Amino acid sequence: MSLEVTRATAGMVLELYVSDREGKAEDSLRREKNLEEISALEGYRGQRVKVFGWVHRLRRQGKNLMFLVLQDGMGYLQCVLADELCQCYNGVLLSTESSVAAYGMLNLTLKGKQAPGGHELSCDFWELIGLAPAGGADNLINEESDVDVQLNNRHMMIRGENMSKILKARSMVTRCFRDHFFDGGYYEVTPPSLVQTQVEGGATLFKLDYFGEEAFLTQSSQLYLETCLPALGDVFCIAQSYRAKQHLAEYTHVEAECPFLTFDDLLNRLEDLICDVVDRILKSPAGSIVYELNLNFQPPKRPFKRMNYSDKEDGTFYEFGEDIPEAPERLMTDTINEPILLCRFPVEIESFYMQRCSMRTCDAEEIMAGYKREGIDPAPYYWYTDQRKYGTCPHGGYGLDVCLYPQFVQRCTP
């Protein structure tokens, strides 16, 4: 039985194939090359390749020439389509954000011309995989869109070059944190997100009904990490934490706990963590992104400035025993303009599990006093209290935000 198949190929607008067999033979010939990632194309210059990607930019030059810049998440590639390749039906309809497969010779760009990677694909065949609406993402969002429109279309904004760079850099940040911990002999733990205990005070808990029982989204995985110390030694996790605050409801939390160390040991480890992770990032493929987005970035230098709570750098009076207000804290950091380790907060404003001078308490009686001071029922925390009964030890830890997700008040979509 004869079959008519339409193809966008160089030399003709329509090709008529009189049999399934001939059509399949043509398809096999056109698709004989394996898929290549755009970022790995340099070694294939002068060869015929095929790539999949999304149309990031599109420029038509008259009726017989069209330039596409494809992106596949790994890189960008300029493709040149001529004559019938851009005059065919799909070529006329093609818009940015459409997904395509492109086939052709990979050639160096001509002298005086520029293209991503220093090469371009001279297409002899292409296929439309998913057609985007006319105008592409510009119908949804552009540089002039107000903030609400940008937030509603965040899923499209991340396709932009800067947003894509930020996400790639963020991915490398979490990878470098993990590499630092693994190279240091830490074990990774995956604590639960649904809990029945608080860590940082009841005012910021997200409450929910858990089959008739009260439960919360975790504020921190610290308590669970502490239980792992006798079994695993140094431990860490990279997980989501949730706090019912208007400016910050969810964030990716890097936390670590370590047994048998002093407060100075803990500060040294924290200082080493920050500097080592930054060094790893700058040596990684994401290092160039950091400087693209922040030309004046300077890596932190050891040693970090260490300050006590009682040091009033800004000259503003506030009662001893109160948390440092945001304005004086910002003024202090802006004035000093270098990393600061702020230490030795009064125990009265610390959480129930803290002792004086910022270390975790390792005494069962102090833990019970902390429950009482904070008005916490110790019963649900029996497993945590047991850590002080069955072989307690001096230990400490820390938590860092990988990335903040500020949102407008009462806004949690998309």
Sequential pLDDT tens for the chain (414 residues): 433 333 444 433 333 233 344 444 445 555 555 567 899 999 999 999 999 999 999 999 999 999 999 999 999 999 999 999 999 999 999 999 999 999 999 999 988 888 999 999 999 999 999 999 998 888 888 888 898 898 899 899 999 998 999 899 999 999 999 999 999 999 999 999 999 888 876 678 899 999 999 999 999 999 999 999 999 999 999 999 998 876 678 889 999 999 999 999 999 999 999 999 999 999 999 999 989 888 888 899 889 888 877 765 455 544 544 556 566 677 777 787 888 888 877 666 667 777 766 678 888 888 898 888 888 899 999 999 999 999 999 999 999 988 643 334 444 444
CB 66 within 8 A of CB 8: no
**pLDDT given for residue 151 in this prediction:** 86
Regarding the domain delimited by 20-137, which CATH topology (the fold level of the hierarchy) does it fall under?
OB fold (Dihydrolipoamide Acetyltransferase, E2P) (2.40.50)
Residue 152 and residue 150: Cα distance in Å, rounded? 6
The upper half-sphere exposure of residue 78, i.e. CA atoms within 13 Å in the direction of its Cβ, equals 17
Q: Which of 64, 66, 65 is nearest to 96 (CA)?
A: 66
CB 380 within 8 A of CB 196: yes
Residue 206 and residue 198: Cα distance in Å, rounded? 10
Residue ranges of alpha helices (H) inside 153-238 are 154-157, 161-183, 222-227, 229-232
Residue 71 in tokens: 């992106």
**pLDDT given for residue 199 in this prediction:** 80
Residue 357 and residue 382: Cα distance in Å, rounded? 25
Residue 366 and residue 381: Cα distance in Å, rounded? 14
Please give the model's pTM, rounded to 2 decimal places.
0.82
Residue 51 and residue 236: Cα distance in Å, rounded? 40
- H helix count then E strand count, the chain: 13, 14
Strand order in the sheet with 194-195: 194-195, 213-217, 206-210
Residue 166 and residue 188: Cα distance in Å, rounded? 25
- Other beta carbons within 10 angstroms of residue 292's beta carbon come to 13
Residue 314 and residue 333: Cα distance in Å, rounded? 10
User: Running DSSP on this structure, what letter comes out for residue 7?
Assistant: -
For 20, list phi and psi in degrees, rounded to 5.
-60, -40
Residue ranges per domain, the chain?
Answer: 20-137, 161-403
- CATH number for 161-403 (one of 3.30.930.10, 1.10.490.130, 3.40.190.10, 1.20.120.80): it is 3.30.930.10
